[in-house]
Amino acid sequence: MQETDLHDLSDDADYAASQLQGSASMMGGDSRTQSSSSEPDGAEIVYLKDNVTIHPTQFASERISGRLKLIKQGHTLFMTWIPYKGQSSNAKLSEKDRNLYTIRAVPFTEVRSIRRHTPALGWQYIIVVLSSGLAYPPLYFYNGGVKEFLGSIKQHVFIVRSAEDANVFLVNDFQNPLQKTLSSLELPRAVSVVSEPSMSVSIGESPLNDNQERTDAGVHSETSSVSQYNVKQRQKGHDPARDLSIQVLEKFSLVTKFARETTSQIFRESHGNGFGAIERRSHNHSALDSAQKASNIAEKVPDTIPVASDPLEVDKLTLVWGKPRQPPLGPEEWFTFLDSEGRVMDSKALRKRIFYGGLEHGLRKEAWAFVLGYHLFDSTYAERQYLRLIKKSEYETIKRQWQSISSEQAKRFTKFRERKGLIEKDVVRTDRSLSFYDGEDNANVNLLRDILLTYSFYNFDLGYCQGMSDLLSPILFVMEDESESFWCFVALMERLGPNFNRDQNGMHSQLFALSKLVELLDSPLHNYFEQNDCLNYFFCFRWILIQLKREFEYEKTMRLWEVLWTHYLSEHFHLYVCVAILKRYRNRIMGEQMDFDTLLKFINELSGHIDLDSVLRDAEALCICAGENGAACIPPGTPPSLPVDDGLLYTQQDDVL
What is the structure's pLDDT at 260? 37
Q: Which residues contact 36 (CB under 8 A, 6 or more apart)?
A: 45, 206
Cα–Cα distance measured from residue 359 to residue 325, given in angstroms and rounded to the nearest whole number: 12
What is the structure's pLDDT at 533? 87
Cα–Cα distance measured from residue 624 to residue 322, given in angstroms and rounded to the nearest whole number: 9
Asked if pLDDT for residue 530 goes beyond 70, the answer is: yes
H or E segment and range at residue 397: helix 381-403
Share of the chain above pLDDT 90, in %: 49
Asked if pLDDT for residue 328 goes beyond 90, the answer is: yes
For the stretch 540-564, pLDDT in tens is 999 999 999 999 999 999 999 999 9
Q: Are 475 and 492 in contact (CB under 8 A)?
A: yes
Asked if pLDDT for residue 299 goes beyond 90, the answer is: no
Cα–Cα distance measured from residue 301 to residue 299, given in angstroms and rounded to the nearest whole number: 6
Asked if pLDDT for residue 276 goes beyond 50, the answer is: no
DSSP 219: P
DSSP 326: P
Average pLDDT, the chain: 76
Which residue has better confidence, 329 or 132? 329
Asked if pLDDT for residue 217 goes beyond 50, the answer is: no
Nearest of 10, 242, 4, 48 to residue 143 by alpha carbon: 48
Cα–Cα distance measured from residue 196 to residue 535, given in angstroms and rounded to the nearest whole number: 10
What is the structure's pLDDT at 86? 67
CB atoms under 10 Å from CB of 74, counted, come to: 14
Nearest of 494, 518, 522 to residue 506 by alpha carbon: 494
What is the structure's pLDDT at 67? 92
Cα–Cα distance measured from residue 113 to residue 189, given in angstroms and rounded to the nearest whole number: 12
Cα–Cα distance measured from residue 521 to residue 508, given in angstroms and rounded to the nearest whole number: 20
Domains annotated for the chain, with CATH where assigned, are 43-179 (2.30.29.230), 331-379 (no CATH), 380-501 (1.10.8.270), 503-642 (1.10.472.80)
What is the structure's pLDDT at 305? 66
Cα–Cα distance measured from residue 343 to residue 365, given in angstroms and rounded to the nearest whole number: 16
Q: Are 447 and 469 in contact (CB under 8 A)?
A: no
68 phi/psi in degrees, rounded to 5: -100, 130
Do β-strands 64-73 and 159-161 pair in parallel, antiparallel, or remain unpaired?
Answer: unpaired
Asked if pLDDT for residue 25 goes beyond 50, the answer is: no
Residues in the chain: 657
Asked if pLDDT for residue 134 goes beyond 80, the answer is: no
For the stretch 579-609, pLDDT in tens is 999 999 999 999 999 998 999 999 999 999 9
67 phi/psi in degrees, rounded to 5: -115, 130
Please give the span between the terminal C-alpha atoms of the chain, in angstroms, as a whole number: 29
The arithmetic mean of pLDDT across residues 143-152, rounded, is 88
What one-character-per-residue DSSP string does 108-144 give? GGGEEEEEEE--SSS-EEEEEEETTS-BPPPEEETT-
* pLDDT grade for 95, boundaries at 50, 70 and 90: low
* pLDDT grade for 338, boundaries at 50, 70 and 90: very high
Give the orientation angle of helix 505-521 with respect to helix 573-584, to 10 degrees.
50
Beta bridge partners of 140: 53, 125
* pLDDT grade for 333, boundaries at 50, 70 and 90: very high
Q: How far is CA 327 from the centre of its chain?
A: 34
Q: Which of 140-149, 277-286, 353-362 has the lowest mean pLDDT?
A: 277-286
The arithmetic mean of pLDDT across residues 124-134, rounded, is 83
* pLDDT grade for 390, boundaries at 50, 70 and 90: very high
Residue 340 to residues 455, 534, 618, Cα–Cα distance (Å): 35, 55, 38
For the stretch 168-209, pLDDT in tens is 888 876 544 434 433 333 333 333 344 434 333 333 333 333
Asked if pLDDT for residue 257 goes beyond 60, the answer is: no
Residue 421, burial from CB neighbour count under 10 angstroms (0-12, 13-18, 19+)? exposed
The arithmetic mean of pLDDT across residues 397-403, rounded, is 97
Q: Which residues contact 29 (CB under 8 A, 6 or more apart)?
A: none
The arithmetic mean of pLDDT across residues 393-409, rounded, is 96
Which residue has better confidence, 523 or 315? 523
For the stretch 307-323, pLDDT in tens is 777 777 766 666 556 67
What one-character-per-residue DSSP string does 567-584 give? -SS-TTHHHHHHHHHHHH
Which residue has better confidence, 55 or 7? 55
105 three-class SS? strand
What is the structure's pLDDT at 312? 72
Cα–Cα distance measured from residue 627 to residue 625, given in angstroms and rounded to the nearest whole number: 5
Q: Which residues contact 21 (CB under 8 A, 6 or more apart)?
A: 147, 148
Q: Are 336 and 329 in contact (CB under 8 A)?
A: no
Q: Are 559 and 568 in contact (CB under 8 A)?
A: no
Cα–Cα distance measured from residue 64 to residue 242, given in angstroms and rounded to the nearest whole number: 37
The arithmetic mean of pLDDT across residues 375-380, rounded, is 97
* pLDDT grade for 462, boundaries at 50, 70 and 90: very high
What is the structure's pLDDT at 206? 38
Residue 201 to residues 53, 77, 196, 227, Cα–Cα distance (Å): 22, 13, 11, 10
For the stretch 622-647, pLDDT in tens is 999 999 999 999 988 899 875 444 43
68 three-class SS? strand
Q: Which residues contact 96 (CB under 8 A, 6 or more apart)?
A: none
Beta bridge partners of 359: 329
Cα–Cα distance measured from residue 558 to residue 591, given in angstroms and rounded to the nearest whole number: 33
Q: Are 50 and 44 in contact (CB under 8 A)?
A: no
For the stretch 408-450, pLDDT in tens is 999 999 999 999 999 999 999 999 999 999 998 999 999 999 9
Residue 390 to residues 379, 387, 396, 459, 484, Cα–Cα distance (Å): 15, 5, 10, 19, 11
Q: Are 139 and 124 in contact (CB under 8 A)?
A: no
Lateral strand order in the sheet of 159-161: 103-107, 76-83, 64-73, 43-54, 139-141, 124-130, 111-117, 168-171, 159-161
